Chain A
Amino acid sequence: MNYFAGIDVGSTAIKVAVVNEAGDIAGVHVTASGSLFHKNSLEALNTLLDKLGLKREDVRYLIATGYGRKLFKEADDSISEITANAIGAFEAGKAFGGVRTIINIGGQDSKAIQIDDTGNVVNFAMNDKCAAGTGRFLDVAARNLDLDLEELGEYHFKSEVAPLNINSTCTVFAESEIIGLLANGHGKAEIIAGIHYSIASRTVRLAKRVGIEDRVYFDGGPALNKGLVAALQDELGRELVIPEHPQTTTAFGAAVLARNEFVAEQSSEKV
């Protein structure tokens, strides 16, 4: 039995996905990247293989993606996370009747990708250099409100009043703004809602640059955050599709590509 793996060496987390010959997902694994990209990536891969009871050799083709892709020399090939993300979303999206627009909010960047009906990237946009409106923004917020990331979701819905306006787009200024709001006696809930909305609106602006078509596929770590999803939904005014493992779509895409490449090579060898 042949397996294929994709590893997404991201800024905050390392995601690994393994698929079988059919291209169905066999397993996924996520760990924090920490400082030692390379070591952690290897560990992540191995832990997943162990979990699935596979050996390194069973993985016939491995494609790396994400910021660290160049560093991960074990990979057979590397690919930009945008393409990987597109493929992953396209494959995963089939279950939901296909998607054309993808919004990905990552650790320190956010992307909007538009794909055609064959899964090719038509157009895409990324946020500017700074981390505004990215996962990192949520981290910071959570830290200031001394909550952990998972709690943000519930809090979003606890607010009775309209979400507050978080004007600062820059993470650093937003931090101080939040503190200010707390000092003014505002409740955590509306602050959090405000944060979600500010991220959502930013992201939607990004998405509009590439053009939005029917369903929107939303992935990346922050997609686990119900509150943010709600805010984004509200801002978009469209159906959102959230995959089972939002974080690993990109890795999954890489794995699928790995499989395809392998098949292609096989066939080309046959010929």
Chain B
Amino acid sequence: MTNETSKVIPIQSIPYSRSRQAGESQDVLDHIIDDFHDNPESMQYFYDLFRSVYCHGEEVKHEGMLVGTTCIQAPEELIYAFGATPMRLCNGSYHYDQKGAEFMPSKSCSLVKATLGMLNSDNVIPKIGKPDMIVNPTTCDQKKKSSSMMGDMGYKVYDLEFPNVKESEASRQYWQRSVRQFATELRQLTGRKLTKKGLQAAFNKTGRAQAAFRKLHSYRLLSPSIILGKDIFLVTNAYFFDDITRWTEKVEALNVELEARKQAGFKAVQSKAPRVLFTGSPPIFPNLKLPLLIEEAGGVVVADESCSANRMLYDMTAVDEWMVNDMVDSLADKYLKPCTCPIFTKNEDRKRRLLDLVKSFNADGVVYQAFSGCQVYEMEYRSVAEAFNQAGIPMLYVETDYSPDDKGQLSTRIEAFLESMKNRKKQKQRAAG
């Protein structure tokens, strides 16, 4: 004699588009699109792309084999040259961050947690399908250790050995060698040959993309800005998984529109809006928390030094002899020497790069994001702060993660920071005029 009220509730799968995860992306995307006025029309492509991929969980197509990369240090030209497609796995969703926290130390960095959380979950968003291989450059400790974790999840992981010292010739050679090893690895994986043609074609793809990005980058020099940082971050985030050729075309289209805006003397922000240089841990959709907070509060991110945008696309490869061996070695150099990642022993290059960016983009201040758990960024903060202090450039150091619950406090701090920058500006002007 059973009671009607008691019954077993069966597992019911809700479509992804109605999941909390989709909601997270949904909110951010709506915020990016609706809460800001006159976004560039050409951005529509990227808005739609993210909506379809992150909110509707639509599949991301790719040619040939799929090679996932966990870091910008993996030479994608090589992957393209073997007819495969690279896909950057670094993930920015809080949902996956929590998933990752289930099997990773809670103190580890959100990015790594989220990435592994994503790889570990049964529906991977962006829906790229199972990578035939994951290239894991041995950069920071957490990424190093992820290698075996990803292995345990049943992925084929290749550890791309990466040196910790950038200046020494020895490590340069070591790195060149491991890049060559990577090439042979890819040869075995794809069963293809690395031909001069293929490599040149690959160089073309990325070269064109980089040229487009550099152009886009150059429009951010303008003051008052004609495009907001949140859009730039969205564009560069799309580079992670979007088809490179299409991506390039769309960016070129965006550049055309920006050129028009420039001619028209368009303003995306108030002329007094503080110009902010963003540096540190990479903002990856949907975790654009900090850039968005800055731009809500009336600031504008005019430049960045992070591996989800500038550092990923800025540096270009120079080749002396267009033969396979020299091209590969040049690639190796390109992926080692210009890198300003804090995993290296010295901080000078990053400091110099930041100061140069502040100067050339005449930024009023710097926002330094460090994901709690990312020791390298946390440790480098002091010396960077010192450098800015000497240069008389205000910097706000924000230690945060993917969780949205510190938004309130962050907004206060960021507003205060922007206000102080405004005052400085006023004073400068008074002093000048």
Interface size on B, residues (CB 8 A): 14
Assess the A121–B412 pair: CB atoms within 8 A.
no
Check B35 for interface membership: any CB of A closer than 8 A.
Answer: no
Q: Which of B175-183, B276-284, B417-425 contacts A (4 or more CB under 8 A)?
A: B417-425
Give chain A's interface residue range (CB within 8 Å of chain B): 10 to 19
Check A56 for interface membership: any CB of B closer than 8 A.
Answer: no
Take A67-B408, A129-B405 as given contacts and tell me if A122 and B413 are in contact as well, using a CB distance cutoff of 8 Å.
no
For B405, the chain A residues whose CB sits under 8 A away are 129
Complex alpha-carbon distance, A120 and B409, angstroms: 20
Complex alpha-carbon distance, A110 and B341, angstroms: 33
Complex alpha-carbon distance, A228 and B405, angstroms: 30
B407 to chain A, nearest CB (A): 11
Assess the A120–B415 pair: CB atoms within 8 A.
no
Check B321 for interface membership: any CB of A closer than 8 A.
Answer: no
Q: Which of A39-47, A80-88, A185-193 contacts B (4 or more CB under 8 A)?
A: A80-88
Complex alpha-carbon distance, A129 and B405, angstroms: 9
A85 to chain B, nearest CB (A): 9
For B427, the chain A residues whose CB sits under 8 A away are 118, 120
Assess the A80–B423 pair: CB atoms within 8 A.
no
Measured CB to CB, the nearest residue on chain B to A129 is: B406
Partner of A120, one of B408, B412, B413, B423: B423
Check B260 for interface membership: any CB of A closer than 8 A.
Answer: no
Within 8 A of B (CB), among A72-118: 79-83, 109, 118
**Binary CB contact string for chain B from 318 to 353 against chain A (1 if under 8 A, 0 otherwise):** 000000000000000000000000000000000000
B42 to chain A, nearest CB (A): 32
**Binary CB contact string for chain A from 105 to 144 against chain B (1 if under 8 A, 0 otherwise):** 0000100000000101111101001000000000000000
> Given A82-B412, A82-B413, A83-B415, list of 17 further CB < 8 A pairs?
A67-B412, A79-B415, A79-B419, A80-B412, A80-B415, A80-B416, A83-B416, A120-B420, A120-B423, A121-B423, A122-B394, A122-B420, A123-B394, A126-B409, A126-B412, A126-B413, A129-B409
CB pairs A–B below 8 angstroms (30 shown): A67-B408, A79-B415, A79-B419, A80-B413, A80-B415, A80-B416, A80-B419, A81-B416, A82-B416, A82-B419, A83-B419, A83-B420, A109-B409, A118-B427, A120-B420, A120-B423, A120-B424, A121-B416, A121-B419, A121-B420, A121-B423, A122-B394, A122-B420, A123-B394, A124-B413, A126-B409, A126-B413, A129-B405, A129-B406, A129-B409
